[in-house]
Structure 1
Amino acid sequence: MSASVPNARSTLHLPQGEWTTVLDCLCAHFPSIDRATWLDRFERGRVLGADGQPLAATHPYQVALKIHYFREVPNEKPIPFEEQVLHLDEHLLVADKPHFLPVMPAGEYVNETLLARLTKRLGNPDLVPIHRIDRLTAGLVLFSTNPESRGRYQALFRERKIDKRYEAICPALPDLDFPRQERLHMVDGEPFFLMKKGDGEPNSETRIEVLERRGELWRYALYPVTGRKHQLRLQMATLGAGICNDPFYPELIERGRRDQDDYSQPLQLLARALSFSDPLTGIERHFESARQLSW
């Protein structure tokens, strides 16, 4: 069994049911995790009450009882790419994330995440990402290192006071004028992890420029005004220029291939730069990724 990391802790309010113990409820709520695994977690103090103290497997079930549990993935596959720390001070950390590495624990990834790696490296359990980028996207991620100042930096994203620049390599669009503002109404797609174009007022916006032309492929600069899930990937695909090596857009590849990362074919999308006025000092901050996309 792989080790847990502090930031892999999840919270659950127990649902309505007729169970006798918390253990019974968890076994029913998570049918993919067998009873022996849950018993092992209880014995190792990996299921906690609202007060943070370990619960016994015999703890009585109670509807809406708040518990914490630590997600664990057996035989977690290592991701063979390293992140870089570009900046670290008492309030902020700026990391340059490689392709394929998730920011946060999810699904089959617990220890092989940017957050877990940095928490272990720095020994700082208060590390929290202020924003996220997709697992398949490379580039800059901003972390708060201090709970006392965290809200000030989170407000930069909420109030759109931070400039974000992405780069992408996509098919050429010679029939369109650039620069352009691309607005799209985005809705949940099918399967659940996809987004799609819907009817209605636009709820996403990106400014798009062309940085370089190389025959049938161009390198674009993307400046998202909003920050919706898969916004850049869907908008470029909707224009007819899906980002190179995107397994989701414009067409979802078959399950078997999708579940096996091809490290030789990374998504050609990079969170290149972040710029903002520091809310604590007023100093103008600018950070750039050192990574390069591949033609």
Structure 2
Amino acid sequence: PAHRLDRLTAGVLVFTVDPAHRAAYQDLFAARRVAKSYLAVAPAPEGTPHVRERSSRIVKTRGVLQAAEVDGPPDAHTRIMLLGVREPDPGGSATPLGLYRLEPSTGRTHQLRVHMNALGTPILGDDLYPRVRTITPGDFSHPLQLLAETIGFTDPVSGAERRFRTRRSLEAWPSGKARAQDPGHPPSAPAPNSCML
């Protein structure tokens, strides 16, 4: 692998076939020269802004499950866009649900989960935020509703522009509706050297 995702996050992940090239791709991530977007389903209380940003300092202490925002110069930044809202399922929460696109410009541990929780909109299925929940190992009956949607970069070996988009969708949001509502990311506009995974 050239980078990491949280264990519970689905979607696009970059691997290298030739070990000799791995460092070049890892350097792209370290230098923040990779554009990434994620989709998440989370509460969308009335008045939730369509676009917001969160910058903070995040610390993950060894042996502690949750990462935390602390005082100090920000080292984590996420742009958050509300793509759509739907009423909750009958018998569930009374708060409407939103489909969000998350665009991190940094890559701190649990960054997206911490930022969404700090804004009062924790991601559905999150077993760590806002509180730690004990889940039986291998129980994926309520998966984290976070999906690594796209990844794009200039290939450090060939110089070609690369863009990859997952074909997966989030269980808690009807497939395809996000892209239909979001003209900025049309599903039928692949870039040169792009791939659907």
On whether the aligned pair clears a TM of 0.5, the verdict is: yes
Letter in 2 for 1:221: R
**Equivalent residue for 1:292?**
169
**Equivalent residue for 2:49?**
177
- Assess if the C-alpha contact under 8 Å between 2:38 and 2:146 holds in 1: yes
Percent identity between the two aligned chains: 41
Structure 2's unaligned 5+ residue stretches are 88-95, 173-197
Letter in 1 for 2:65: F
Select which of 117, 136, 139 maps to 1:262.
139
Select which of 148, 154, 159 maps to 1:271.
148
Higher relative CO (CA 8 A, sep ≥ 6), structure 1 or 2? 2
Bigger fraction of residues in helix: 1
- Root mean square deviation of aligned Cα: 1.6
Are positions 1:245 and 2:117 aligned together? no
Q: What TM-score, normalized to structure 2?
A: 0.78
**Equivalent residue for 1:186?**
58
Are positions 1:168 and 2:40 aligned together? yes
Distance in 1 (alpha carbons) for counterparts of 2:59 and 2:157 = 36
Distance in 2 (alpha carbons) for counterparts of 1:283 and 1:230 = 30
**Equivalent residue for 2:115?**
235
List per-residue Cα deviations over 1:263-287 (Å, max 9, x = no partner).
Answer: 2211000001111111222211111
Distance in 2 (alpha carbons) for counterparts of 1:197 and 1:175 = 24
Letter in 1 for 2:98: W
Structure 1's unaligned 5+ residue stretches are 1-128
Q: SS in structure 1 opposite 2:126?
A: coil
Distance in 1 (alpha carbons) for counterparts of 2:168 and 2:63 = 31
Letter in 1 for 2:110: H
Distance in 1 (alpha carbons) for counterparts of 2:25 and 2:74 = 27
Q: Which has the larger radius of gyration?
A: 1
Distance in 2 (alpha carbons) for counterparts of 1:281 and 1:187 = 36
> What is the correspondence of 1:1-295 to structure 2 with a 5 Å cutoff?
129-188=1-60, 192-215=64-87, 216-253=96-133, 257-295=134-172
**Deviation for aligned residue 1:147:** 2.3
Q: What TM-score, normalized to structure 1?
A: 0.53
**Deviation for aligned residue 1:173:** 4.0
Distance in 2 (alpha carbons) for counterparts of 1:225 and 1:182 = 11
Q: SS in structure 2 opposite 1:153?
A: helix
Distance in 2 (alpha carbons) for counterparts of 1:277 and 1:190 = 34
List per-residue Cα deviations over 1:97-131 (Å, max 9, x = no partner).
Answer: xxxxxxxxxxxxxxxxxxxxxxxxxxxxxxxx110
Q: SS in structure 2 opposite 1:170?
A: strand
Letter in 2 for 1:276: F
**Deviation for aligned residue 1:252:** 0.9
